[in-house]
Structures are given as structure tokens and as C-alpha cells.
Amino acid sequence: MAKALPWSVDQPIEPFEPVAAEKPPEGNWLYQIKWDGVRMLVYADGDRCELFNRHGNHRTALYPELLDWRSYCSATSSVLLDGEIIALGADGKPSFHEVMRRDGIRRTDRVKQAAREVPIAYMVFDLLYCDGEWWNNKPLTERMRKLEELLQTSRLVQLVPSYPDGSTLFQVTKAQNLEGIVAKQADSTYSFGGKDGRWLKIKHWGDVIATIGGYTTNGGIVNALLAGVFDDKGGFHFIGKVGTGRLKRSEWAALADVFAPVRRSTSPFVTYHRDMAGAAWVEPLLTMRVQYAEWRWQEGRQLRQPMIEALLGTTPAPPFFTTN
């Protein structure tokens, strides 16, 4: 008797997750590009198709392009796919900001227009269930071969390719300004809700010397810094709120005293951003080195996943960009 597809809107499965690593491993591994998108699982059973993200949130209404699952998958009756939805930015590369324009929609009457403005692609990288049979306990190489048989690839739906040389792929993704790579043990199984070293994510990080223009507190202790950069005319531009990194708790606690002599009553930034709510302002004199996952500063975006690497004191930061 065929096993039923796990089909509960209230309890969708929790996907397997990679853990962070510093460099690609060597040995019996497969290497894939890490796409800067939104994790998405496609449940299909007969005429019904449902989409859930990694947190188990329902996303079916947001991506009507994927609901006709038989147009891109040759499974007979049912399938459960794991992958990532991406959208391209103006530079032709995957943009987290763009895909969030689709994933952040909360009014279904806006979906059609968003679909026209932000076309997406579903990058499939795993098969968990197919036609009454569970595949999660089969080796990754078998799951990938089965996906090659099942998927009819197009601009909309693509099979994520695997490569044998992780170091080369890592360098290529760096040169192309992509997010990084994922390394997967070739014989690895897939554990629902798991997160361990069978899958590794190796990301590229950028860094910038930013100037501090303000801060927020929690219980009287500084808990985040407002980062900015100058243009060549002296304009000070907000680039993100940074509340994580290498600072020790004692260093966070000491920052209020550090900022006391340079407090000011007004914002030093040229524009206001919602992340500045509740901030105390300081003269933009103190600098820090900030690491980040993505920053499309040409588009006026803020740093994504910023982390403080070090406080640099009053080291002057040169103008970051030139104005017209």
C-alpha cells in the first residue's frame, strides 16, 4: 500500500539545513551554488499543490506560476520537492531584496501585478517523496538522478546543478558576486528538521569601514549601532543597523560612556529610515569594520546580515561614493 503524502497545513515538514563552514571540504562531496532566495517546498498530490517556506508558513497564493506542477514534473500522482525561489536584480544576479518583493506580499490582490514585475524561478535541489515512496532516506546521488528524470526544466523551474570541485566553484561564485556554495555529502540522507555537517554552507562576505551615527539601547545597554558612509560632498548615508558581531558583552556595556561626549540632538544622516526608530544620535566620528552578506548600495539598499568585526576608534573613513 502506498504511503500517504505528509499533508497537513497545520504541520508541514521542517526542511534539512546546512551548517556554516569556512572553506569547501574535500572528499566524496557534491557542490552546488548557494542561491540568494527563499527556501520553498512544493507539495503536490493529484490536482492539489501547496507551497510552504522553511518556517512552515503557507505561501501557495504568492506563487501561482508553480501551482500547475504537472507542467514541470512527470511524477504520476504525487511529489514533494525542496528548493529555493529566486528573483534577479538589475545586474542579472539573484537578489534577496527582489524575491522579498514577492514573498513579502500579504494582500492576494497584489500578486498578479507582482508576478509581472518580479518574475521568479524555482531552483530545485532535492526530492523527498514521489508517487507513494519516500526518498529522504536514499543517498543524495540517487535523489538527484531521480530529479533529472522527473523535472522538465524551463526558465521557471530548474534543477540545481552539482559540481565535483568545490574550491573552483567557490572561486567562481566569488568572482561572479554570488552568495557562496553549499557542499553536500554525496551519500547523505535527508533528515526532516535536521541541521548537521552532512550539508555545509560556505558564504562570501564583504566588509566596509562604516561610521557610527547613532545607537539604540535595551535596559540602558547599547544593543545596536547605526552605520553610515559619506559621499564626496559630505553627505552621510544610512546603510544599516548592526546589532551582532564580535563585540563582547562588556564592550557593548561600555559603549554608552564612549558615546556620551559625542551625543547630539538631531540625526546626522541625510534621510530617515524606520530602523532608526528610538535611536540616540552621535556625531559621525567613530568608525567600525562591518562584515555583510549582501549590499546593493547602488540601489540604495541597506546591508544584509551585517556583523561588527571591530571598532576602529576615530579613524577617518574616506568618502565611499561620488555624487553627480
Please indicate, yes or no, whether residues 153 and 96 belong to a single structural domain of this protein: yes
Closest to 183 in 3D by CA, of 287, 34, 14: 34
Q: Looking at the predicted structure, is the pLDDT value of residue 170 above 70? A: yes
Please indicate, yes or no, whether residues 154 and 76 belong to a single structural domain of this protein: yes
Q: Give the residue from 159, 192, 224 where a domain finishes.
A: 159
Please indicate, yes or no, whether residues 61 and 133 belong to a single structural domain of this protein: yes
Q: Looking at the predicted structure, is the pLDDT value of residue 3 above 70? A: no
- pLDDT per residue as tens digits for the range 206-232: 889 999 999 999 988 999 999 999 988
Please indicate, yes or no, whether residues 150 and 46 belong to a single structural domain of this protein: yes
Instruction: Output the domain CATH number for residue 105.
Output: 3.30.470.30
Give me the pLDDT at residue 111, please.
93
Q: Residue 322 falls within a domain, yes or no?
A: no
Give me the pLDDT at residue 298, please.
65
Q: Residue 21 falls within a domain, yes or no?
A: yes
- pLDDT per residue as tens digits for the range 52-100: 999 999 999 999 999 999 999 999 999 999 999 999 988 888 988 889 8
Q: Residue 46 falls within a domain, yes or no?
A: yes
Helix ranges (H only) for the chain are 96-103, 111-117, 140-150, 166-175, 249-259
Q: Looking at the predicted structure, is the pLDDT value of residue 184 above 50? A: yes
Q: Residue 318 falls within a domain, yes or no?
A: no
Q: Residue 323 falls within a domain, yes or no?
A: no
Q: Looking at the predicted structure, is the pLDDT value of residue 243 above 60? A: yes
- pLDDT per residue as tens digits for the range 20-32: 998 999 999 999 9
Please indicate, yes or no, whether residues 183 and 94 belong to a single structural domain of this protein: no
DSSP string, 8-58: -TTSPPPPPEEEE-SS---SSEEEEEE-SSEEEEEEEETTEEEEEETT--B
Give me the pLDDT at residue 1, please.
31
CA 114 centroid distance within chain: 20
3-state secondary structure of 297: helix
Domain of residue 133 covers 36-159
Q: Of 7-11, 13-17, 257-261, 274-278, which gets the smallest average pLDDT?
A: 7-11
Q: Residue 226 falls within a domain, yes or no?
A: yes
Please indicate, yes or no, whether residues 195 and 214 belong to a single structural domain of this protein: no
- Average pLDDT in the 197-206 region? 92
Please indicate, yes or no, whether residues 57 and 96 belong to a single structural domain of this protein: yes
Give me the pLDDT at residue 293, please.
82
Please indicate, yes or no, whether residues 58 and 150 belong to a single structural domain of this protein: yes
Give me the pLDDT at residue 305, please.
87
Q: Comparing 266 with 250, which gets the higher pLDDT?
A: 266
pTM confidence score: 0.77
Give me the pLDDT at residue 296, please.
73
Please indicate, yes or no, whether residues 197 and 117 belong to a single structural domain of this protein: no
Please indicate, yes or no, whether residues 74 and 123 belong to a single structural domain of this protein: yes
Count up the domains in the chain and report the number. 3
Strands 280-282 and 287-292: unpaired
Instruction: Output the domain CATH number for residue 235.
Output: 2.40.50.140
- Alpha-carbon distance of 279 to 168, in angstroms, equals 44
Q: Residue 66 falls within a domain, yes or no?
A: yes
Give me the pLDDT at residue 2, please.
40
At 310, list the grid cell.
571591530
- Average pLDDT in the 140-165 region? 97
Q: Residue 166 falls within a domain, yes or no?
A: no
Confidence of residue 10 (pLDDT cuts 50, 70, 90): low
Please indicate, yes or no, whether residues 53 and 98 belong to a single structural domain of this protein: yes
Q: Looking at the predicted structure, is the pLDDT value of residue 322 above 80? A: no
Under a CB-based contact definition with an 8 Å cutoff, are residues 79 and 152 in contact?
A: no
